[in-house]
Amino acid sequence: MATTLVHQHKSIAPPKGVEVWDVDPYDEAVLTNPLPFFDALRAKGGLVYVPRYEILISGRYEETREIFYDHARFLSSRGVGMADFKLEEPWRPPSIVLEVDPPEHTHNRRVIMRALSPSVVRKLEQDFVEDAERLVDEVLAQGEIEAVAAIAEAFPTHVFPRAVGIKQPDARKLVDYGAMVFNAVGPDNELRQRVMARAPEIVPWINEQCDRSRLTEDGIGATIFAAADAGEIGEAEAGMLIRSLLSAGVDTTVSGIGSALWCLAQHPEQFQYLRSEPTNLSGPAFEEALRFCTPVQAFFRTAGQDTTVSDIEIEEGTKILCVLGAANRDPAKFENPEAFDIGRDARGHLALGVGVHSCVGQIIARAEGRAILGALAERVSRIEFAGEPKWRPNNSMRALESLPLKLS
């Protein structure tokens, strides 16, 4: 029997004791200015029910961490977006690392983990630093720049595809695919439909890059195909893991670096502090930017069984939106969370998730962040706004549309 799913997932009634909040977390005004939503969400309880989507939302640190950490009760295999893959056909073949549970997840993740290991990234890091220094010299010579294009997009789209071993990278297609992937986890709203309309020009190109013939023999991609040669995974799976690198490795770091620049422009005293010790503080500065302006604002999990969180009864099939950006500003976890303070201990933030699905590329992401912030701190004496920054609405990613800066 064919049933129409109103919300792309099972219909769920509000659990006893949770506040019902008629908010639209996907309203463009919320997506581009999420802080008031975060505060209200945490104030209303550990879980809140949103009738227009029949979902639960979690915005406090403790509950968000509990749900994200417990992959056995809160599944990824039914999709990390609003659509339940058990009931709706996904827009693309599911990721074999993001949209899967253990034990398959464990097996596939191990292959990528090895390809992105600390020793691999250590070898890349010197190149990242040199590229960052070259880029900073270039933008410094221009004086006024639009920093989303000139730094936030330029840097990751240069260093990451090269590290993967993409022979013919196309920065625009990589960034636009990221926009599709991260908008796809939202409801089927206008925003999602607008980016999905471009799938025919972007998806085939992405899929082509996942073929072994498109990859160099010395990159991260080649290491993944070596696991196929060793019989650990199939050739098709290796290609799917390349797709994961291209899905998760570009927009995330573009957003993280852009937001870090925005934070430093807004807090000149923090940039001066960073300049006092670029080597020691570029890591903590990037970490604090991840907490303060969390790139992946929210992912869903699906309750695989009837369960409880903070005494709230959750029915099997419930979609729970875990708002990592709100959890990262929870005063119960972070002292004075509304202060951007690169001297704080930001560890424990949920920007890179927690548990078995935590960001598998975090070592390389951090190396990129440190390289660019370190180069800025070494070469630039002041970062100022040269116009109004604009945020770009996205169903899961906090990202800038434009960031006019003056560097001196």
The binding site for ligand OVM (CB under 6 A) comprises: 95, 97-98, 181-182, 185, 244, 247-248
> Token pair for residue 61?
């640190």
CB 182 within 8 A of CB 397: yes
**CB-neighbour burial class of residue 11 (10 A; exposed 0-12, middle 13-18, buried 19+):** exposed
Give the residue carrying structure tokens 């659509």. Answer: 83
Instruction: Return d(Cα 66, Cα 79) in angstroms, integer.
Output: 18
Q: How far is the CB of 140 from ligand OVM (least distance, A)?
A: 33
Shortest distance, position 28 Cβ to ligand OVM, whole Å? 20
State which residue, 182 or 225, has the beta carbon closest to ligand OVM: 182
The letter for the amino acid at 328 is N
Rounded least distance, CB 55 to ligand OVM, Å: 18
Q: Tell the smallest beta-carbon distance from residue 163 to ligand OVM (Å).
A: 17
- Cα angle 391, 82, 308 (rounded to 5 degrees) comes to 115
Residue number, 181 or 373, with CB nearest to ligand OVM: 181
State the minimum distance, in angstroms, from the CB of residue 223 to ligand OVM: 17
**Based on CB atoms, which residue is closest to ligand OVM, 270 or 328?**
328
Question: Least CB distance from residue 248 to ligand OVM, whole Å?
Answer: 3
Q: Which is nearer to ligand OVM, 95 or 209 (CB)?
A: 95
Strands 319-323 and 55-58: parallel
Is the Cβ of residue 241 or residue 373 nearer to ligand OVM in the bound state? Answer: 241
Asked, as a colleague might, if the bond just before 103 is cis with ω within 30 of 0, I would say yes
- Give yes or no for a contact between 211 and 241, defined as CB atoms under 8 angstroms apart: no
Measure Cα distances from 351 to 18, 68, 70, 75, 348 in Å.
26, 11, 17, 19, 9
CA-nearest of 219, 209, 370 to 283 is 370
The minimum distance between CB 45 and ligand OVM, in angstroms, equals: 27
The nearer residue to ligand OVM, 97 or 164, going by C-beta atoms, is 97
Beta bridge partners of 55: 50
In the bound state with ligand OVM, the residue whose beta carbon lies nearer, of 207 and 266, is 207
* Distance between CA atoms of residues 8 and 235, nearest Å: 32
Q: Nearer to ligand OVM by C-beta: 64 or 244? A: 244
Q: How far is the CB of 150 from ligand OVM (least distance, A)?
A: 25
**Minimum separation from the CB atom of position 92 to ligand OVM (A):** 8
Cα 374 to Cα 389: distance, rounded to the nearest angstrom: 23
Q: Which two tokens stand for residue 311?
A: 């005494």
**At closest approach, how far in Å is the CB of 237 from ligand OVM?**
12
Nearer to ligand OVM, 282 or 395 (CB): 395
281 is written with which tokens? Answer: 């503080």
Token output for 135: 């880029």
Buried b (16+ CB within 10 A) or exposed e, 276-300: eebeebbbbbbbbbbbbbbbbbbbb
Nearest CB to ligand OVM, comparing residues 116 and 185: 185
Asked if 42 contacts 60 with a C-beta cutoff of 8 angstroms, the reply is yes
- Can you list the alpha helix ranges (DSSP code H) found in 301-392? 324-327, 362-379
